[in-house]
Each structure stands twice: as structure tokens, then as C-alpha cells.
Structure 1
Amino acid sequence: MTPTTQIACPQCDAANRVPTARLGDGPRCGVCKAPLFTGKPVALSELRFRRHLRICELPVLVDFWASWCGPCRAMAPAFEAAAATLEPRMRLLKVSTEEAPGLAAELAISSIPTLALFAAGREIARQAGALPAGRIIAWAESVFPTK
């Protein structure tokens, strides 16, 4: 039997099983046909974040941010660059603490930007403060080696 990895579609949130060896081959959603990986972080609401975290069998790296936060805005291009490097080994998500204050409180996000790395639906590491792309990648890979 071929090993598979389950991931949520960034467009329609449908669960998709993809042969693990083919994650880098441009898989598409079985429901809406959108690419499952775009090389960009996926911006999600609290509800969608919870669904993706529940479905995704890949490590999930989340940028908790706010639109009024200068360091958050400054780090956005670096996080996008990190997505281009880390996908499809990890799923990168962005969650606005302004739009999901309950989630931010539940997870005790006390400063932004905050990066949180989840595996199997549980937070395994956290890093506060703006980082350049290289440091985001190095930190994520040091916490959860995927190569």
C-alpha cells in the first residue's frame, strides 16, 4: 500500500489524500480542482484554521499577526518566501489575531508576530518576533526536520 498524506484544500477546505511521494508533483483538490500547494501562506479564519489543523497530516507553521502591527507587515514577505521553500513539506498558514481574538486568547498569543509550529494538531514550538525568511526556514526545520 502506498503511504499517503492528508491535507486540506486551501480553497474549499476539503480533505484530500495524496501519495506522500507525490506531494511535490502539483497535486490538486479532488473536489474543486485547485492546487493543494501554491508556495504561498493560506490566510484563514478561526473556523477554517481549526479545520485545517484537524485535517492536515503535515506540520503546520502559523503566522499569528495583525494588520496594525508594523513588524507583522514587515515579516509578511519573509513568511511568503518561507512558504515557497517549505511547501510541500509543511503547510504555512496566516491567522489574524484581530479576526480571531478567541483563538489568540485560547492559544495565549501575547505578542505578534508569533510563529507557532503544530504537528498532529498540537503546538510543538513557538517563536515570537519578526524574522527574515532564512531564519523562519531554519527555525521551522530545526524544530521539525522534514528532509
Structure 2
Amino acid sequence: MSTSPAGHAHLGGSTWTVACANCGRTNRVPAAAKGSPRCGNCRAPLPWIAEAGDADFGKVAEQADLPVLVDLWASWCGPCRMVSPALEQVAKDLAGQIKLVKVDIDESPHLARRFEVQAVPTLLILDRGRPVARQTGAAPAHALRRWVDESLSASHGSADPTSGRPR
């Protein structure tokens, strides 16, 4: 089992463990599910980070109830390794509002072709499976957060004040 810089312990392609920022309890979060993950103890929203590939991208990313931030990356890519913690921070900041799905393009050549990846990292925002924004290259967490917020606002108008979710 490996641990990411954001404190998520990876258990395999289908489940991550996440410590709740509110109460500290450790929770298992599946790669694909309805709704969005919440802490089993205090019900606070949890960051949703998953991996997907050619075989399960539809189920993990395109069928998600939340908007999805897709990170198309490669293990040999230095900027990809640098941007990963920033993306995890954005997922943590927007817990309950977005899902981060990581796709290794070397392991998923069909998705790399489908999304016409010519440089990595390539980031996409999917809303109900439909691409609404695209960005190539690494950026700091605050710039990525601004891009995500602007992309979601542009695709849906202003956010619902009660849920923070784009309308």
C-alpha cells in the first residue's frame, strides 16, 4: 500500500482510505458510487480521489454525480508528479463538490487517443460525462482551484449557495 502526499492511502484501483478533515476518522472511499462520499462518523464531505483506465473510466468518471477533474498523466513526467499534490489539494478543498480521477496515459492508450492528449499533464473537467474545460501543463494549487471554479461557473452559471455545486 502506498501513501500519497495528501495523506490518502491507496488500497487498489477501487478504494482509497481518507482521513476526515473534520473529525479525523479514517474512511474507505470507493472509486465509483452514487452521490458523493461522506464521513461515516460525522457526515462531513470527503475528498473523492480515484484512478481509472480504459476499462472503467465510464463507470468511475463519466457516470459520476459530481463534476469530475480528470488528470491525464504519465509516470515518467516530472510536471505530472509536481502537479499531483496540487490536484489533491483542490480535491480536498472542494470535497463534496468535485471528484478527482487520475488516468495514467501509458496504461490507458484508448483514453489518451480519445482525449487527444499531446502533452502531459492534461486536465479536463467533465460534467455529467461531457468535457467542459481543458488545460495542459502544471500549475500551483491556487491557479488550479481558480481554473476549476471558473470552468464550473462557465458551464452552469453561478454556484448554488447551499451546496456549493454549480447550478
TM range, smaller chain: 0.7 to 0.9
Q: Does 1:83 align with 2:91?
A: yes
Q: Cα offset for 1:112?
A: 0.4
Could you list the runs of 5+ residues in structure 1 that have no partner in the other structure? Answer: 1-7, 29-34
Aligned with 1:69 (options 45, 64, 77): 77
Instruction: Provide the TM-score with structure 2 as the length reference.
Output: 0.67
Q: Which runs of 5+ in 2 are unaligned?
A: 1-13, 16-28, 154-158
Deviations 1:47-83 (A, max 9, x none): 2221123321211111100000000011111111111
The match for 2:6 is: none
Match of 1:3 in 2: none
When structure 1 is superposed on structure 2, of 136-145 and 40-49 the one drifting more is: 40-49
- CA deviations 1:73-107 (Å, max 9, x no partner) are 11111111111012210111110001101111011
Residues paired across the two proteins, number: 126
Q: Larger relative CO (CA 8 A, sep 6+): 1 or 2?
A: 1
Matched, 1:99 2:107: yes
Q: 2:65 aligns with which of 53, 57, 82?
A: 57
* Structure with the higher helix share, 1 or 2: 1
TM-score (norm 1): 0.75
In 2: Cα distance, 1:75 partner to 1:12 partner: 21
Letter in 1 for 2:30: Q
Query: RMSD of the TM alignment (CA)?
Result: 2.4
Runs of 4+ in 1 over 4 A off after TM superposition: none
Deviation at 1:12, TM superposition (A): 6.0
In 2, Cα distance between the equivalents of 1:44 and 1:116?
14
Q: Percent identity?
A: 33
- Matching of residue 11 in structure 1 with residue 30 in structure 2: yes
**C-alpha separation between the residues in 2 aligned to 1:92 and 1:12?**
10
Q: What is the CA distance between 1:40 and its match in structure 2?
A: 5.3
CA displacement, residues 98-133 of structure 1 (integer Å, 9 cap, x when unaligned): 110111101101110011001111111100000111
Change (3 A) 1:100 1:80: same
